[in-house]
Chains A and B, each alone.
Chain A
Amino acid sequence: MKLAAQVIDLQKHYDLGPVVVKALRGVSIDFPEGDFVAIMGSSGSGKSTLLNLLGGLDRPTLGKYILGGLDVSQMSDTQLSNVRNQRIGFIFQSYNLITQYTVLENIELPLHYRPGHPSVSAADRKRCEEMAIRVGLGQRMDHRPFQLSGGQQQRVAIARAMMNEPEIILADEATGNLDSVTSTEIMTLLRNLNDEGRTIIMVTHEPDIAMWAKRQIVMRDGVVFKEIKNEVRTTAPTAFAESSDKAFVEHELGNKPAGEGKH
């Protein structure tokens, strides 16, 4: 099976003067194409460090990181930027949209940083609109982030992550700020993307959310502690059934629980 990404004996050390902190101490994982992995672990386990390395935001101290057949572990800053732009789609806990931009402009943003900086064509704009419609924001393309609910903002982020057809999608606690019903909506969206063949790696500390993935990798003290294959995966119907009836009813009535912004 073809690998979308692969890390081999990945190590990351932080030199803090008197002590050297070894955040990752030799991690090797294969991510086949179409994989859906949840990386679990308590804080300090190294899962954030791993995610930063997978996202090309940082370089490993030792070891290799192969992304789409390309060794990116020792790339220059500019090369890494291109890799982030072309091969990785980020989804963050706090959405990280640019507040002064509209939904469409936010989705368009990665296009401006394509290697060689081709200008954004009319066809590109059309694709952005289609993407917005696809994540369910067809009516809100000209809205700005503050006019959107958390769930909607995260949809914008997903659309943005998809724009350059990345090798892998990295989701960092993508549902951390969302209520369970909205979380289910977002996870359904990710699940659909995965079903189409997209490789998704997500970091979460919520076991419920981890059950959406195909498998879970549990980190501890900078190494892979164990790997769990999800025999029974969560899907939208099961999630709604499991979520508290009260929350579901409130959602359906349009009476939002705390934490969910205005629609």
Chain B
Amino acid sequence: MLMRMIRTVQLGLKSLLLHKLRSGLTMLGIVFGVFSVIAMLAIGEGASNQAQKQIVALGATNIIVRSIKPIEGSTQDASSGGSTRYGLLRSDLRRLQNTIPEVVSAVPIRELLREARHLKYTMQSRLVGCTPEYQDLNQLKIHKGRFLSDADRQTRANVVVLAHEVAKKLFPVEDPLDNQTIQVGDVFYSVIGVTEPRTASAAIGGSLSAQEFDKDLYIPIETFRSRIGDIVSTPKQAGMDTEHVELNQITLEVRDVKDVIRTAEVVRGTLEKFHPAKDFNVVVPLELLKQAEQLRQIFNVVLGSIAAISLVVGGIGIMNIMLATVTERTREIGIRRALGARRRDIIEQFLTETVVLSGSGGVLGIALGLATPLAFTLIRDFTLRFVLDGGDLSDTSKMFQEMQPVVAIWSLPLAFGISVGIGILFGLYPAQAAAKLDPIEALRHE
């Protein structure tokens, strides 16, 4: 049986080699089809890896609760005198910490966009009031100095930890830790540490954009409260825009990953009682991860289908050539039939030829597909250097810049299987046409 299969394949190879150019051109259709399947899936896989990395950066055991500003005029709190009051309260923090046993830690965050200054250097940055736990929660690494401590909180010290980019901008020459201070608003803070660069994490509801950590200034949340307070006014076209916010975010850490989704429900329920205006939003990175996984699957199916179209086109090309071959080799078919070949033998012969053709195309396509990441990198570098001319990049193209296609191992046997399947599918009709020929007519064929 095996010997016979080898023999049939040899036979197929032999007659394909008889028309090298024709076979080669026919094969190209499948080569590119398989290549595009693998490449599309690799790019899709790369993009989702990128997204997943960003979501994982938010922490899988975390639940993030953020304050959101209600639509203008919907909630005016009379007690705060015309200012907009919304968002999470310090009482919420205590409540969540004390009533939900699954919650291991709760980190409050207060944040504001502010200009930081050192000598003539300024930078628009995010002033973050937080606690020492913030560092672990966001996987921040200290480059120099130290992060905030509990002592800083208790003493409401005017100390600041600079994010990588801020340090670079404000202290282009000097060492930021060399007894330096920076000014934010009318308050001076002494620099106690600098963080290492960290990739941005995914955008979450209630925040403006993807969370970039490199433009942050970290101060103790108690310092924030006493130096800046809950009420912040910013000049607007007509008068002042005053907001009263106690906390911008509470990040909760749950003990076990499997409790995350359920705990998030409890958190939502607890808060809803005290916030009828729904001025908060609960984000569960784990849910985002699941959504991203679904998105990835949809992505793969869509990209895969597009690539599959080229495979079908390749298959039609093969069918066309095989039909021509059958006509051309009618006499050979007649001879084989006269010598005792059954219909099945003829079908086998032509089907093998088609499958050998499409299968070899599949192998070549896989070889090309494996080169996708390299080709992608080359094309991207070329585009960045010559087409975009090194100009400023939006967030989207930054993602493109950092993305790396990943050839999915499972796509290789899949692509090969599909190419063989295409051979069978599109080879069956020509093979049957060959087998159906009347031997007498076939022998008479010139």
Contacts and interface: CB of A to CB of B under 8 A. Distances in A.
A52 B440 contact: yes
B340 A114 contact: yes
B343 interface: yes
A212 interface: no
Nearest to B335: A96
Contact of A117 (B4, B338, B440): B4
A113 B439 contact: no
Contacts, number: 62
Q: What interface size band does chain A fall in?
A: 20 to 34
Nearest to A97: B335
A78 B342 contact: yes
B238 interface: no
A192 to B, nearest CB: 23
B338 A84 contact: yes
Nearest to B340: A85
A78 B336 contact: no
Interface in A71-95: 77-78, 81-82, 84-86, 90, 92
A187 B393 CA distance: 88
Most chain A CB within 10 A, of B338, B339, B341, B443, is at B339
A119 B341 contact: no
B296 interface: no
B225 interface: no
A41 interface: no
Contact of B338 (A77, A96, A97, A112): A96
A96 B343 contact: no
B434 to A, nearest CB: 14
A68 interface: no
A100 interface: yes
Contacts of A52: 440
B133 to A, nearest CB: 75
A90 B339 contact: yes
Contacts of B344: 78
Interface string A30-59: 000000000000000000000010010110
Interface of B: 3-4, 7, 14-15, 18, 331-332, 334-345, 439-440, 443
24 contacts: A52-B440, A57-B338, A57-B443, A78-B344, A81-B337, A81-B340, A81-B342, A81-B343, A84-B339, A84-B340, A85-B339, A85-B341, A92-B443, A96-B334, A96-B338, A110-B339, A112-B7, A113-B339, A113-B342, A114-B340, A117-B4, A119-B3, A119-B4, A160-B339
Interface of A: 52, 55, 57-58, 77-78, 81-82, 84-86, 90, 92, 96-98, 100, 109-110, 112-114, 117, 119, 160, 164
Q: Which 3 A-B pairs have the closest CB atoms?
A: A85-B340, A113-B340, A81-B342
